[in-house]
Amino acid sequence: MYWTLELASYLEDAPWPATKDELIDYAVRSGAPLEVIENLQEIEDEGEVYETIEDIWPDYPSKEDFFFNEDEY
C-alpha cells in the first residue's frame, strides 16, 4: 500500500467518519483511480471507524507541514 497526495486527495470529500467498506464504496462511486481502491482494500480491517485520512495514512501532511507565511498573501 502506498499513498501520495494525489491519491489521498480523492478521499478529501469522503463521508468522514467512515468504515473501510464505506470508503471503498465512496471511492468507487466518485471515480477514484484503481490505486485508491486497492490501497483501501489492503487496510487490515477490524471493523474500525476512521475519523480522517490521517487514520489511514498517518504521514498525511497537515497544513503545518507546509512552510509558507500566509500573512504575505
* Contact of 16 with 55, CB cutoff 8 Å: no
pLDDT exceeds cutoff 80 at 72: no
The model's pLDDT over 4-36, given as tens digits with 9 standing for 90+, comes to: 889 999 998 999 999 999 999 999 999 999 999
pLDDT exceeds cutoff 70 at 66: no
| pLDDT at 59 (0 to 100) | 83
For residue 3, which of 46, 32, 45 has the smallest C-alpha distance?
Answer: 32
User: Does the global pTM surpass 0.75?
Assistant: yes
